[in-house]
Amino acid sequence: MTKSIALGLYLAWSGRGGLTYANRKLRQRLEEGKEDAARIGERRGEAGRPRPEGKLVWFHAASVGESLALLELIRRILEEREDVSVLVTTGTVTSAGVMAERLPDRAFHQYIPLDARAFVRRFLDHWKPDLAVWCESELWPALICETHARGVPMVIVNARMSKTSHDRWRFLKGMVRSLLGRFSHAMVQDDITAMYLRRLGLPPERMEVTGTLKEGAAALPCDEAERTEMAVQLGGRPVWLAASTHDGEERIVLDAHDLALKVNPRLLLILVPRHPQRGDEIARLLQHDGWTYNRRTAGELPEPEAHVYLADTMGELGLWYRVSPISFVGGSLQPIGGHNPFEPAALGSAILHGPYVTNFVDIYQRLTEARAARLVSGPDTLSEAVHELLNPDRAAAMAHAAWEVVSSGAEVTDRALDMVLHRLDAGSPGRGA
């Protein structure tokens, strides 16, 4: 295996200086409200529950989007193997809340420890995973090296690397080559990621380009009683959705809505910010600009006279995609990189997006080629697209094309399932016996 002076120095630092830094960082994050005080021990590697008996597959994902992509794969693994349990680790409070609601029986969530060797060793001493599965490309050196040193097989699913990440790692090429060399297999989302990983040292024979797991993910759930209530409340009103918006995008969306209202005065905008904690900020914007609106966290439904419904809650996109035949997917009118377009595609909503979709460039290209998604650049083009798609036939044609792209990707989950079960059976048996 490739040796790296930089990696050796990092590991030496993470044993002493890294521990001091990690504790200081945790205190800072607690003060900023970025950590769950009741579970802060998990960030130091302290287990929040006993290890289940039998085999344990450990999935690590950075945050909400990555962990949601794993749900269907996890469900299939547990369905196939009654002797297996699944541990999912993430690093954000939001993702922990979503996983608590969505993980099936025999699967559970813990926070990932910070990358200090003492924390990592404590974590691994307790959980003793039989297989470690990284999702996408979050590479923590101490976590990877300590896991590998214990003989735990390691693979990557849904691997994705942006140009920014590639350029950052390029200056530590020896380190990243050594880290990537510890993974026995990688399922890669697209050719661009495969090129980046080859350049950084992942052997080509350990990679396969499969597409993204998000294609094979089950449709986002919703409460059917709430969907029925919302449909009755809307009473056939024309509706469009702005999903997962970021700071700066709400202004563009509202300007587009103002233009669209001039053509269709009954039109309702459902506005769902990416981060629900921004609800108060967006409510102030709506008040300042004189919008008539209702707010989800206030327990309100969209009244007939309201032009905007602020849905500032977490975990309800499945409801809003079902309610709206037209969805603008946020994070794309600002240089964020875009969000997952397969979620609206799986639920029959036509897709609009801005130019900044580097996180999903390959997927959006396929959707565009299938005439299943449409690029907008500002208020004028967004309002024009909304107006055109209020024609039910046009919206239905786009939505059907998007659904066909989504349904064609279910084999990615099948391939990931086969790979994970094969590696699990080939690994060290009986760790949890």
User: What are the pLDDT digits (tens) for 296-348?
Assistant: 999 999 999 999 999 999 889 999 999 999 999 999 999 998 998 989 998 98
Domain range 5-216+410-426, its CATH number among 3.40.50.970, 3.40.50.11720, 3.40.50.720, 3.20.20.70? 3.40.50.11720
383, 330, 363, 111 alpha-carbon torsion, rounded to 10°: -170
The pLDDT value given to residue 432: 37
- pLDDT (0 to 100) of residue 216: 64
Rounded to an integer, what distance in angstroms lies between the CA atom of residue 269 and that of residue 309?
6
Residues whose CB falls within 8 Å of the CB of residue 417, separated by 6 or more in sequence, listed in order: 73, 76, 77, 80
pLDDT of residue 202: 95
Coil, strand or helix: which one is 88? Answer: strand
Spatial neighbors of 193 by CB under 8 A, at least 6 apart, are 137, 159, 160, 161
Confidence of residue 433 (pLDDT cuts 50, 70, 90): very low
What DSSP string runs through 356-424? --GGGHHHHHHHHHTT-EEE--SHHHHHHHHHHHTSHHHHHHHHHHHHHHHHTTHHHHHHHHHHHHHHH
* 126 contact partners, CB below 8 Å, separation of at least 6: 45, 47, 51
Residue bearing the bigger pLDDT, 404 or 246:
246
Q: What percent of the chain has pLDDT over 90?
A: 78
Q: How far apart are the first and last CA of the chain?
A: 31
What is the pTM for the complete model shown? 0.67
As a whole number of angstroms, the distance between CA 213 and CA 160 comes to 11
177, two tokens: 């080559």
Q: Are 353 and 375 in contact (CB under 8 A)?
A: yes
Q: Is 66 a catalytic residue?
A: yes
pLDDT for 217 equals: 67
Distance, in Å, from the CA atom of 132 to the CA atom of 138, rounded to the nearest integer, reads 13
Please state, in angstroms and as integers, the Cα–Cα distance from residue 142 to each residue in 146, 178, 201, 218, 355, following that order: 6, 12, 18, 33, 37
Burial class (CB in 10 A: 0-12, 13-18, 19+), 193: buried
191-200 and 361-369 helices, crossing angle to 10°? 160
Burial class of residue 391 (count of CB atoms within 10 Å of its CB; 0-12, 13-18, 19+): exposed
pLDDT of res. 196:
95
Number of other residues whose CB lies within 10 A of the CB of residue 83: 10
Segment 229-279, tens digit of pLDDT: 999 999 999 999 999 999 999 999 999 999 999 999 999 999 999 999 999
Per-residue pLDDT, 331: 96
Among 209-213, 230-234, 382-386, the minimum mean pLDDT is found in 209-213
Q: What rounded mean pLDDT belongs to the chain?
A: 92
Mean pLDDT, range 270-290, rounded to an integer? 97
Structure tokens at 286: 């709506």
Q: Where do the CATH 3.40.50.11720 domains begin and end in the chain? A: 5-216+410-426
Q: Are strands 55-60 and 131-135 parallel, antiparallel or unpaired?
A: parallel
Q: How confident is the model at residue 215 (pLDDT cuts 50, 70, 90)?
A: low
Task: Return the closest-CA partner of residue 44 out of 108, 110, 139.
Answer: 110
114/28 Cα distance (integer angstroms): 13
- CATH 3.40.50.2000 range(s) for the chain read 224-407
Angle between helix 141-149 and helix 117-127 axes, rounded to 10 deg: 40
Q: Which of 147, 177, 162 is nearest to 6 (CA)?
A: 177
Closest CA to 335 of 220, 164, 193, 210: 164
Residue 281: alpha-carbon gap to chain centroid: 24
One of 35, 42, 66, 316 is an active-site residue; which one?
66
Place 72 in a pLDDT band, splitting at 50, 70 and 90.
confident
Mean pLDDT value across residues 131-144: 92
The residue-averaged pLDDT of 90-110 equals: 90
CA dist list (Å): 312 to 133, 234, 270, 294, 333: 32, 18, 10, 11, 19
Which three-class secondary structure state does DSSP give residue 260? helix
pLDDT value at 91 more than 80: yes
CB-based contacts of 13, cutoff 8 Å, min separation 6:
none
Query: Is the pLDDT confidence value at 212 over 80?
Result: yes
- In the block, which residue shows the tokens 């025999």? 106
Distance CA 195, CA 97 (A): 35
> 19: helix, coil or strand?
helix
Class of domain 224-407 as given by CATH: alpha beta
Sign of CA dihedral 274, 276, 281, 284: positive
Give the mean model confidence (pLDDT) for residues 6-25.
91
Taking the C-alpha atoms of residue 146 and residue 152, their distance in angstroms, rounded to an integer, is 9
